[in-house]
């Protein structure tokens, strides 16, 4: 396990995109199963009030900083994380790795047909990529066993679940052993982007760390979720002020 940096109660692995891929490659040969979480500010804030989410993050094999907010927070607290690792970038990079190394991939999530469309596009983009199964993400508790069984039968090495946050993390963590997949990871709306049903922010917005605002413009209903961002900033400033007090007193 790499060194974890604690941000408001959530431990983040100090990795960049490439070292995250190396860690995940190692997991393929280590005893598993492994849950990889790409955690953003919303997840950090949820973990503060939801003990089960806190537990999921604490037990995850790898937690990467998904977004500019977490990296900003880490710098404010004087324990800088090396880089943000956007979930979609990590997922794409893992597809390339999977194609090269022969890992079998399973796509779960999205409306009817999304996982299949994503699969077709990915196979065109990464020749040799082995996708052993696809399934939609709108199923009720009654269908849970069937979904887990379908994944087991396909015996993938890597499972991407795009069931939305935080359902996907709860779903994966609760079925980690039953699924029997070496590495599982929540990918949010990534399958929609791969399927061509949603678009990522233009490159410049991504580089400037403004991808969240682009999503907000396209999906204004996200405003309630994104209220976590100013709340996170407020708590970070408080934490920084608190941490600074003893230092000032000592001097
Ligand atoms: N989704 C799903 N099942 C659900 C709810 C959502 O498969 O019960 C899918 C949805 O179709 C979308 C993805 O989850 O493809 C991401 O949803 P959202 O934008 O809420 O998540 P985020 O990317 O912010 O994690």
Q: What are the structural domain ranges in the chain?
A: 5-200
Query: Could you identify the residue written with the tokens 């939801």?
Result: 50
pLDDT in tens, 144-184: 999 999 999 999 999 999 999 999 999 999 999 999 999 99
Distance 219 CA to ligand 1 centre (A): 12
Range 24-28 contact pairs with CB under 8 angstroms and sequence separation of 24 or more = 24/62, 24/94, 24/97, 24/183, 25/97, 25/101, 27/61, 27/62, 27/182, 27/183, 28/101, 28/103, 28/157, 28/182, 28/183
pLDDT-derived band at 2, boundaries 50, 70, 90: low
What is the arithmetic mean of pLDDT over 127-143? 96
> How far, in Å, from the CA of 244 to the mean position of ligand 1?
40
- In this structure, the residue with its CA closest to atom 18 of ligand 1 is 164
The band of 251, judged by pLDDT with boundaries at 50, 70 and 90, is: very low
Confidence of residue 1 (pLDDT cuts 50, 70, 90): low
Is the pLDDT assigned to residue 246 strictly greater than 60?
Answer: no
28 token code pair? 């393929």
pLDDT at 200 over 60: yes
Least confident among 4-8, 38-42, 175-179, 220-224: 220-224
- How much of the chain, in percent, has pLDDT values that exceed 70? 96
Cβ-proximal residues to 216 (8 Å cutoff; 6+ apart), any chain: 222, 223, 226
Beta bridge partners of 10: 7
What CATH number labels 5-200?
3.40.50
Of 47, 81, 80, nearest to 65 (Cα)?
81
Distance 188 CA to ligand 1 centre (A): 5
Ligand 1 site-directed mutation target among 88, 188, 193, 216, most atoms within 8 Å of CB: 188
Strand duo 34-39 + 183-186: pairing: parallel
What's the rounded mean pLDDT across residues 43-68? 97
Is 44 within 8 Å of 8 (Cβ atoms)?
yes
* Ligand 1 lined by 192 (C-beta under 6 Å): yes
Residue 244: which pLDDT band, with cuts at 50, 70 and 90?
A: confident
């Amino acid at each position: 396990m790499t060194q974890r940096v604690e941000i408001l109660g959530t431990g983040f692995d100090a990795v960049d995109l490439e070292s995250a891929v190396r860690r995940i490659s190692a997991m393929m040969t280590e005893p598993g199963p492994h849950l990889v979480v790409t955690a953003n500010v919303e997840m950090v804030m949820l973990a503060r009030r939801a003990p089960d989410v806190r537990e999921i993050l604490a037990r995850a094999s790898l937690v990467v900083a998904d977004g500019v907010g977490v990296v900003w927070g880490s710098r404010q607290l004087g324990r800088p994380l090396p880089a943000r690792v956007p979930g979609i970038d990590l997922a794409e990079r893992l597809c390339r790795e999977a194609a090269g190394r022969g890992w079998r991939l399973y796509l779960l999530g999205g409306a009817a047909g999304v996982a299949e469309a994503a699969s077709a596009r990915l196979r065109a983009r990464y020749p040799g990529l082995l996708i052993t199964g696809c399934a939609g993400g709108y199923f009720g508790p009654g269908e849970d066993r069937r979904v887990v069984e379908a994944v087991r039968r396909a015996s993938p090495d890597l499972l991407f679940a795009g069931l939305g946050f935080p359902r996907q993390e709860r779903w994966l963590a609760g079925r980690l052993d039953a699924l029997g997949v070496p590495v599982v990871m929540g990918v949010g709306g990534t399958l929609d982007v791969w399927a061509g049903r949603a678009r990522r922010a233009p490159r410049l917005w991504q580089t400037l760390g403004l991808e969240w605002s682009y999503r907000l413009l396209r999906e204004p209903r996200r405003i309630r979720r994104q209220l976590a961002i100013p709340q996170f900033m407020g708590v970070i400033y408080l934490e920084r002020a608190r941490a600074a007090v003893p230092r000032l007193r000592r001097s």
